[in-house]
A and B are shown apart, each in its own frame.
Chain A
Amino acid sequence: MTIEQKENKIIEDFELFGDDWEGKYEHLIELGKKYPPMDESLKSDERLIKGCQSRVWLASKFENGKVIFEADSDAAIPKGIVALVAGVLSGHTPTEILDAKLEFIDKIGLKEHLSPTRANGLVSMVKQMKMDALAYQNKN
């Protein structure tokens, strides 16, 4: 699937909830629970993306021209967002990742969690993912 196809699938899933914010958050939290947790040994300070409150860890590697991301958070809602974003961006080329606009977050009504005023590390995580992709692209 392309990044866009993945985003469209997520938008379809969340559309089923309509205005039901409870259902939406339950689903998001469930997605976070299903997302594989990061190995504790990888949760080093270098991989910690510091928000004011919840912590987000990010690891990446480059395999066969694709960037693979692993991410985790100690809070359930950010973990759900991490699962969505890392799920969408992981396994793609640096160019695809750098071009991704991630508009799906807005379309599923969770834009506030990626706004720069949110002190939860998610904005910085997305930035870091793109920087990692750029670094892999330049190394190539």
Chain B
Amino acid sequence: MRPLLSLINPKYFYRILDWQHKPYELAGSLAKVQEFDHYNNLIDLNSIFSTFPAGDPVDRTETVTGPFAFAVQRPWQPAQAKQDFSEVIALRVNYYLNTGKKLNLCWSGGIDSTCLVAGFLQHTAHLDQLRILYSPWSVYENREFFEYLKTNYPALDMLDISGDVYLETVFDGIMINGHGGDEFTASLDESFFDTVGYQGLHQPWQSLITDPTLQEFCTEYFALAQRPIDTVLEARWWFYAATKSQIFAPRDSVFATNATTSAFFNCQEFEDYMWHNIDQVIDNNNYISYKQFMKQYIYRFWPNDNYLKLARKVSSLQFVLYTRKKTELLGQQWIAYLSDGTAIRTLNLPLFSECEFKNTYGDSLEYLFKYL
């Protein structure tokens, strides 16, 4: 069985379509490819939810055929167990602890990563299994939590990865990040919230998705959630959970040359929790209440009133910027990652040509393009 795609870099990957004379048009950074109408519907839907769609949709229901052969890492299945959020965290933490490996917790200072650090510190018997990776921007984002850790957990291994450290260190064990925390909570960015408002989130989804053809597609696609999808918020939750939760490759971080990268919230337990509790995505008409249930969980570990009342979701891009920089400096640019972790790359990236691609791969990757 040949490995399928795990992640593609649109900057290079779509140029292959030009060489194959396959017509496409861009929406954000995504390609709508001729003859893949249902897949293009997903991109149209993405364009409604986001001003600049990025990250190719990978349909976890496996009902929509796209132009590229992606491997679905975790096919969609309807929710089973109904558990408390604290039980979900405990299950997830114990899963990692039982590996016996060193656990590198990527703490950006945001809500998701603070939540996972709080979970690990509550359930870990041996602190030496943990290592917190942070940067000055993590401290900038959540200084009080940083000081709380320093004061109350002096034995905890905390490593500032800025400067030369992220460029030169090869980590072992598992790199655990907060990915999935957005995708399974409707990926509700502030600009979308400002546009539709709290009331708008609870309007029928047909008020936002007005195109009849798209409505027809959505009616069928939303039924696959096997729970009612009536409102804009539910539609948004389903879209991101079903198609956008797999946007990170198994080795999306070059910190992790010898380590596995794992997304803490990209798991069945958390997905099930949100399936039952979409109403918890946001509490009221103030954007600060987005992910309030996570902040309440953090509060039980670290009772900080200011954080509970005032912390808001921000996009923490520091680790992404570090990763990109290290990728460039090491000459490890990539065209795509396959599901077995191998990178598709040509020798002289970022200079990319048909000639170099053919010289490197010939026709051996044609199976990744479904229209060929």
Verify that A and B bind, or say they do not.
no
Give the A-binding residues of B (Cβ under 8 A).
none
